[in-house]
């Protein structure tokens, strides 16, 4: 695939230091907000200096890299800060399935950021000075079945577990959707504020209508250093402190969840090893405790061998076993056959990249696709040979509560 961008003159890009901007999300105008925030740090953006719908297919990441090279190559950059995330930045969301349309890259006209002790504003050309408008709640929210009813989804979980017992594959991750309709248009800024406040350990994101708070960092590249956080194995939070501790201990001891996690770590290790001169993976997972669930988590770090950009690493890693299954190709076939829906951007890569190839990309979990008054919520879980359909349904419902809280509030 060839890329025809159509930019014929340099894009004037200016990055300047600014004072502490306070709550970054409070700076966003209503229209087309872009965000990547964790613990109050990250980037927000608005306006569009360049935007593209990435064509589906196995070459989509290569096409995206070529498009970004063209866009960034037409930038006349004056950068007074010089840290990852300065200069021109693209936000992106890619669909889970390479054959599905809907992947988008956007270079905002304005980016306000705070990271690693620095705060800055990047503008491209005459960036829009949009006035902040009051945030309005969406009113009453009503819900309806997505692609499958709850009993239908339990049936496909049972079918998937049987195919694993039959030796067809080791693990498959199955997702389901839930449709929400609001009285009024949904203000994405309201969702972002609620998510960032309630889930500060997660990465709160907004790109092209895909909004959520993901606990899973697919990859961070800073120079040649990379980091990843692998999550696989989940249990709901307890109803009391003692119940919570008991659930966490049971998760750490669960043969089913430990095997699921081992599949995910092996997938990441096998993918990253050829790209890295050094790679460290832990021997044992730890618990990541979030307000709604607990996860088995492993931190992975390494050093790239050949200067690959963060998007190159994303292309190599997606889909991981944590959101697809093991072996990957077989799991994807089973997902396409059984799941009964197009995941769109759910469980796909979402994040940002700068002109130096640095950036942060997560897996779009705990998320929803927002359009006007409607939201399509997503949740899923890893299915193993011993999976209980009722328990898997309860896990998915617990994960839905993240975006239900964002829509409804406390």
What residue has token string 């249990």? 235
Q: Tokens 């890329």, residue?
A: 3
Query: How many Å apart are CA 150 and CA 144, to the nearest integer?
Result: 11
d(CA 12, CA 341): 42
Nearest to 265 by CA among 382, 388, 97: 382
Q: Residue 354 and residue 367: Cα distance in Å, rounded?
A: 24
In 3-state terms, what secondary structure has residue 236?
Answer: strand
CA distance 379 to 332: 17
Task: State whether residue 3 is helix, strand or coil.
Answer: coil
Report the DSSP beta bridge partners of residue 221: 226, 359
φ, ψ of residue 135 to 5 degrees: the values are -85, 130
* Catalytic residue list contains 171: yes
Contact 297, 229 (CB under 8 A): yes
Q: How far is CA 329 from the centre of its chain?
A: 21
- DSSP-assigned letter for residue 25: G
1 burial type by CB count under 10 A (0-12 exposed, 13-18 middle, 19+ buried): exposed
Beta bridge partners of 77: 13
Decide: residue 113, CB within 10 A, 0-12 exposed, 13-18 middle, 19+ buried: buried
Q: Which two tokens stand for residue 249?
A: 């201990």
Catalytic residue among 216, 260, 339, 360: 216
Which one is catalytic: 171, 260, 360, 395? 171
392 is catalytic: no
Q: How do strand 11-17 and strand 75-79 relate by DSSP bridges?
A: parallel
Helices (H), 254-388: 255-272, 310-317, 328-338
Give the residue numbers annotated as catalytic, written as ranges.
171, 216
């Amino acid at each position: 695939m060839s890329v025809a961008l159509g930019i014929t003159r340099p894009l004037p890009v200016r990055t300047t230091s600014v004072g502490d901007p306070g709550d970054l999300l409070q700076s966003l105008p209503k229209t087309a907000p872009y965000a990547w925030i964790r613990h109050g740090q990250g980037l927000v953006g608005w306006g569009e200096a360049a935007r593209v719908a990435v064509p589906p297919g196995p070459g989509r990441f290569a096409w995206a890299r070529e498009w970004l090279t063209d866009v960034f190559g037409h930038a006349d950059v004056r950068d007074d800060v010089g840290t990852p995330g300065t200069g021109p930045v693209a936000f992106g969301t890619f669909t889970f399935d390479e054959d599905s349309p809907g992947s988008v890259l956007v270079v905002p006209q304005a980016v306000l950021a705070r990271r690693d002790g620095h705060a800055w504003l990047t503008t491209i050309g005459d960036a829009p000075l949009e006035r902040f408008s009051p945030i309005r709640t969406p009113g009453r929210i009503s819900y309806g079945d997505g692609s499958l009813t709850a009993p239908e989804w339990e049936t496909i979980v049972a079918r998937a577990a049987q195919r694993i017992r039959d030796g067809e594959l080791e693990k498959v991750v199955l997702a389901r959707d839930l449709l929400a309709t609001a009285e009024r248009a949904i203000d994405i800024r309201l969702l972002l504020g609620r998510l960032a406040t309630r889930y500060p350990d997660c990465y709160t994101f907004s790109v092209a209508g895909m909004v959520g708070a993901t606990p899973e960092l697919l990859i961070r590249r800073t120079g040649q250093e990379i980091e990843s956080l692998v999550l696989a194995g989940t249990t709901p939070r307890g109803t009391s402190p003692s119940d919570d501790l008991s659930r966490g201990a049971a998760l750490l001891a669960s043969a089913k969840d430990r095997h699921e996690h081992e599949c995910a770590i092996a997938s990441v290790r096998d993918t990253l090893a050829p790209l890295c001169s050094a790679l460290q993976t832990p021997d044992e997972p730890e618990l990541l405790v979030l307000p709604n669930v607990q996860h088995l988590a492993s931190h992975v770090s390494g050093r790239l061998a050949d200067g690959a950009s963060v998007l190159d690493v994303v292309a190599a890693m997606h889909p991981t076993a944590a959101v697809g299954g093991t072996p990957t190709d077989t799991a994807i076939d089973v997902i396409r056959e059984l799941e009964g829906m197009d995941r769109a951007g759910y469980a796909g890569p979402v994040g940002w990249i700068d002109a130096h190839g640095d950036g942060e990309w997560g897996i779009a979990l705990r998320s929803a696709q927002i359009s006007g008054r409607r939201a399509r919520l997503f949740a899923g879980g890893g299915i193993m040979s011993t999976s209980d359909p009722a328990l898997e349904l309860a896990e998915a419902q617990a994960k839905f509560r993240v975006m239900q809280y964002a829509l409804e509030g406390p």
